[in-house]
Structures are given as structure tokens and as C-alpha cells.
Amino acid sequence: MRKDIFIKIGTLLIVIFLVSCSSKPIIPLYEYPTDWKNINEREKTILDYSKYLYGRKIFLDPGHGGEDRKNKNSKGDVIEADVNLRVALDLKKYLESAGALVIISRDKDTTVQLGYRSEWSNKSGAEIFISIHHNAPGKTEDDFTNYTSTYYHAKETDYEYEPSDHDIARYIERDLAYVMGNPGGLGSFDGTYSDYNIYPGEGFSVLRKKNIPGVLVECAFHTSHFEELRLNNEEFNQIQAWGIFRGLAKYYHAGKPEIDFLPDSLRLDNNILNASFVLKDSVGINSKTIQVYFNKEEKEFTFDKTTNVVSLKIEIINPGTYPLRIIAANKNGNHSFPYRKNIIVDDSLKVNLTD
């Protein structure tokens, strides 16, 4: 009889325990961005941003896929290749709704060689390359590590570094991390990182081999015990895509300087090369940001603030091919796209500027 009571009480306690477990309040895993949750608001935002995105050609690269599906969480139910693809396809939809032209390196679970991704973007005519990934812990991180990071190629002090990559990274990182409610990690002030942090002196292959501006986004850690609950949710993937979309639109909204060569200015007189370039930007050029490199060395120049013309006078003794590079930022802080040309001086000391 007494044993019976103990069994009954025990059973009751187990039932109470199970009920209390199942009735735990559902933790909201994410919030709806205010300009996304309501379809009218969403369409209005897309229409607003179409002013900056219409006709832009964007190359999207969902990482991995096909034979490369090994990156996953510990339970094996969140596969990086699949999450990357869902986010990229949602982003494609938003960009196309705003009038952008999108080229995507894969639109299904298929193998695309790493080298081919950047090679394709280079010849695609796209102006920006965005590679979409999710992260896994490094040596000092664990299954609870989670942050949003956006990578640009090289370090600020390297000749390879293009500040326009870093500008794009900042805009995408800010809006993506914001909609996901994630921090940007402690290894960087604003969540943007040089890819040399991962592969010193080399960076990510897709970023090193591309020659158009671009970034690699590690949206979050698919290995995180928190994040894995959200990444297989298609609605959340749409929100991730919205963050990247909004960041890119705001980047274009801030504008960037265009650099035009003035062909009549090019001549070589008594071994002095003369060349001029006009800088164009609707919000104005920040003259303090202009840099000119000739033969990979920084050179002096003059800048006329009324005409926005940069003029060079550089001594050239020998015929040869000399790389020329110009950088300038506008008053919103956005830098010109890579301006890398060659000045060719032939044996008869005739001079030409080529791509």
C-alpha cells in the first residue's frame, strides 16, 4: 500500500516535471525588422532603394554546395552550404525587385570550383562581388561562439588593399548584424575584418582572385547552439538577406567618386610626365583622401578644388610600363572603385594610358 503511494507520488512528480518542461515559454529567437515585417513597408523600402540599385550588376556567391557539404553543426541538421544558398536566393529576389541585375554562382545544391567563382565574377561585368558564408569556431572559440563578420581583402597598409572593399563591408556588416541581433565579434571595432586575419599574407582565395570590389560575409556561426536554432528557419534567412540588401542599398546611397582620365593632358616633356584626371561625385570630394601611386610609390600631385582635377608631374627617365593607381573618397566617406591603369612609355618616348 505504502509502496503504491510512493509510485503514485513519483509518477505525479515526473508528470509535473514533464509538463513544466513542455510549457516553457517560447523564446523569441528574432525580431522582425520594422521595414520588413509589414509587406507594404517592405515594398516601400524596396521602391526607395531602387533609386540607388536600379541597373546595378551584382554577383552573388553562395559558398560551398554540391560535393562540398561538410560544414555543419554538431547535430548535423544545419548545413552551411544550404543556409548560404537560401540567404543568397532571398537576397537575389530583393535586389531584383529593386531593379538590380544579379548573377549567382549557383542557384541550387551543385559543385562550383572555388577558383571559378572569382574568375566568373571578373568576366561577368558585375560591379560588386558578395560571397555568402556561415562560420565555425577557430582555436580559441567554441560551440557557443556566435557573431556576424564581414571580410575585405588585405590590410589597410598593403598595396593590394582597396578601401572600396572596406566601405562595402562596413555597410553590409552594420545592417546584417543589426537585423540578426548579433554582435560583430571582439576581434574588430565594427565587425569588419581583413581576410589576412584568417590566412596571413594571402586572405581568402575568392577575395584575392577577384578584381572587382567585393566582400565575404560570415553571417553567423552555424555551429552555435543558439544560432543553429534560427538558421534552418526560412523566414529568418529572409531577414538575413534583408540585412545585406539594406546595407548594400545604403552603401550606394552614400555614393562614390568616379575618376575620369583627361586624354588631352597626357604628354611627356623633357622626361616629365603630365597627366590629369577629373574626380566626380554628387556630394563632393574629400580632398584629404586623395592618393596617387606611380610605379607603386606614393606621389605628389595638385588638386584644383573648383574643377576637381588631379594633376600629376612625374619624372620618367626610361621607357617602360608603369602602374598608376588613384584613390579618392567622397564627403560621405566612400572611396572610388579600384582605379588601376598602366602608363606605357615606348622607345620613342611616346606615352599612353591603358587598362
Close Cβ partners of 78 (under 8 Å, ≥ 6 residues apart): 72, 222, 228, 231, 232
- For Zn ion, which residue of 33, 62, 63, 163 counts as binding (CB under 5 A)? 63
- For Zn ion, which residue of 72, 86, 117, 133 counts as binding (CB under 5 A)? 133
Judged by phi (left if over 0) then psi (alpha if -120 to 50, else beta), residue 200 lies in beta
Look up residue 330 and give its amino acid. Answer: N
Burial of 168-177, coded b for 16+ CB within 10 Å and e otherwise, reads bbbbbbbbbb
- Told to check if 163 binds Zn ion by CB under 5 A, we report no
**Segment interacting with Zn ion (CB under 5 A) among 85-93, 98-106, 129-137, 279-287:** 129-137
Sign of CA dihedral 289, 290, 296, 301: negative
- Told to check if 214 binds Zn ion by CB under 5 A, we report no
Judged by phi (left if over 0) then psi (alpha if -120 to 50, else beta), residue 201 lies in left
**Segment interacting with Zn ion (CB under 5 A) among 39-47, 59-67, 138-146, 278-286:** 59-67
**For residue 77, what is its C-alpha cell?**
541538421
Q: How far is the CB of 220 from Zn ion (least distance, A)?
A: 12
- Give whole-number Cα distances, 170 to 19, 165, 191, 198, in Å: 47, 9, 8, 18
Q: How far is the CB of 305 from Zn ion (least distance, A)?
A: 46
Q: Whose Cβ is closer to Zn ion: residue 35's or residue 109's?
A: 109
- Told to check if 65 binds Zn ion by CB under 5 A, we report no
Q: Whose Cβ is closer to Zn ion: residue 33's or residue 184's?
A: 184
Q: Whose Cβ is closer to Zn ion: residue 136's or residue 229's?
A: 136
Q: What is the DSSP letter of 212?
A: S
Q: Whose Cβ is closer to Zn ion: residue 86's or residue 133's?
A: 133
In the sheet that holds 214-221, the strands lie side by side as 101-104, 57-62, 128-135, 214-221, 149-152, 192-194
Q: Whose Cβ is closer to Zn ion: residue 101's or residue 114's?
A: 114
- Told to check if 62 binds Zn ion by CB under 5 A, we report no
- Told to check if 185 binds Zn ion by CB under 5 A, we report no
- Told to check if 230 binds Zn ion by CB under 5 A, we report no
**Segment interacting with Zn ion (CB under 5 A) among 3-11, 61-69, 114-122, 255-263:** 61-69
Answer whether 295's CB lies under 8 Å from 128's CB.
no
Q: Whose Cβ is closer to Zn ion: residue 63's or residue 65's?
A: 63
- Told to check if 246 binds Zn ion by CB under 5 A, we report no
Q: How far is the CB of 65 from Zn ion (least distance, A)?
A: 10
Cβ atoms within 10 Å, residue 129: 28
Cβ atoms within 10 Å, residue 110: 12
Task: Give the binding-site size for Zn ion (rule: CB under 5 A).
Answer: 2
Ranked by CB distance to Zn ion, the top (closest) residue is 133
Where does this chain bind Zn ion (CB under 5 A)?
63, 133
